[in-house]
Structure 1
Amino acid sequence: MKKSNSILTLALLASISFSLIACANKKSTDHENGNGVHDHSAMNHKAEDEMSDGSVVETSENKSISQLIDQYLVIKNALVQDDSRAAASAGQKLAETSSSIDLNTFEASKQSEIKEILEVVKEHGEHIAKSEIAHQREHFEGMAKDFMDLLAITGTDRTLYQQYCPMYDKGKGGSWLSDSQEIKNPLFGSKMLTCGSVKETISMK
């Protein structure tokens, strides 16, 4: 009887020990596959939110600069076609966009220089908006360097080409930007449409 009781006791202890081990293993597994996964998921969501927050600045930068490039190119194409009215309308939009850009969407170290360039671009746009075509072309040519300086800081959302005509301004020469390598001269329009060559390619960054 004593032997039988001993065997029964050992069997019961073994069963309890097995249950405790199994329970401990389940908790460990649950921690790895349950709570641990949820914590990791939360971290992932946080990281994605932070990336989204960071990308807002970048998107805002690109959008505002993209609008300026669009309006610049509208002026360019209008002058190619000798269309002073279309150039004036685009010049007004360029001036308005230049003054409405939120500098806080740019890195703090860039803001001062960008502000100075945008103020000059705004002035050019205002002159283009209210001038006859010869004066529009003067301001458009003068604005090319400002755009080059701006894009060197902010980058561009498209490939652009700096083009140059040596005949402009009585042989002093003049530059402009285009989104096509094909020469269509906005500084002369139909008078000398193909005068010029590509001097530099400005690539996306």
Structure 2
Amino acid sequence: MKKTLRNLMMLSLVAGTLSMTSCRETKEDEAAEPMQHEMREGEDMEHDMDHTTGDDVVLNDEITAEFQDEEIASVYQHYIDIKQALVQTDAEMAQDRAKGMIADLETEEGFEDLAASARRISTSTNVNEQREAFSDLTKAMETKLEGALASGEIYKQYCPMAFEGKGDAWFSNVKEIRNPYYGDKMLKCGRVEATIQ
């Protein structure tokens, strides 16, 4: 009995250590970008945002990159708008932003994968389902961003804890982490994985 109890305690300790270190801040001398993490409540998240009038909340993720193609620039702006809604865990806003993307893509060819993912976001009221569709949207967006920039940078960010530890990525205009897969639960969980120039 004591041996079983000791084994259970050791397993609990190991599991706790792994979960705490998977999204901790790393030392500055490590080669990879540091992992940012703070557990935050919803009201603390407001301090990290710039508010505008009405329900239009804008995070510090304004697009500074210049695109060679105006259509890609427009699609990327919609992508950022959807991401920001998911960071805020606002399913209704994510739906609205996805509908905007779909409206822009209706007449365009070669964007079917983006439109399909945006349609899944626009028809769901469940933020977790929207986040799964956003993962697909990110994968489709990546192919559009390759070689699309005229100037500036876009950061590919990654959270190892997303989707029950499978991990997933998203794009941002700033190095500062704002996690769309966890929102205010783990707002700063993630790291910069790559820079697109």
Describe the shift of the 1:156–1:61 C-alpha distance in structure 2 as closer, same or farther (beyond 3 A): closer
Greater gyration radius: 1
Describe the shift of the 1:156–1:169 C-alpha distance in structure 2 as closer, same or farther (beyond 3 A): farther
Shift of 1:156: 5.9
Residue 123 of structure 1 aligns with which residue? 116
Shift of 1:85: 1.1
The structure carrying a bigger strand percent of its residues is 2
TM-score by length of 1: 0.60
Residue 172 of structure 1 aligns with which residue? 166
Higher RCO (CA < 8 A, seq sep 6+): 2
119-128 or 139-148: bigger deviation: 139-148
Residue 132 of structure 2 aligns with which residue? 138
Distance between the aligned counterparts of 2:172 and 2:150, measured in 1? 13
Distance between the aligned counterparts of 1:70 and 1:160, measured in 2? 12
**Aligned to 1:70, which of 71, 77, 80?**
77
- Superposed, which structure 2 residues align to 1:39-78 within 5 Å? 62-78=69-85
Shift of 1:179: 0.8
Shift of 1:153: 4.9
What is the total number of aligned residue pairs between the two structures? 131
Gap runs ≥5 in structure 2: 1-66
Describe the shift of the 1:99–1:61 C-alpha distance in structure 2 as closer, same or farther (beyond 3 A): farther
SS at match of 2:75: helix
Describe the shift of the 1:82–1:199 C-alpha distance in structure 2 as closer, same or farther (beyond 3 A): same
Gap runs ≥5 in structure 1: 1-59, 104-114
The structure carrying a bigger helix percent of its residues is 1
Distance between the aligned counterparts of 2:150 and 2:167, measured in 1? 25
Q: Percent identity?
A: 33
- Superposed, which structure 2 residues align to 1:178-197 within 5 Å? 178-197=172-191
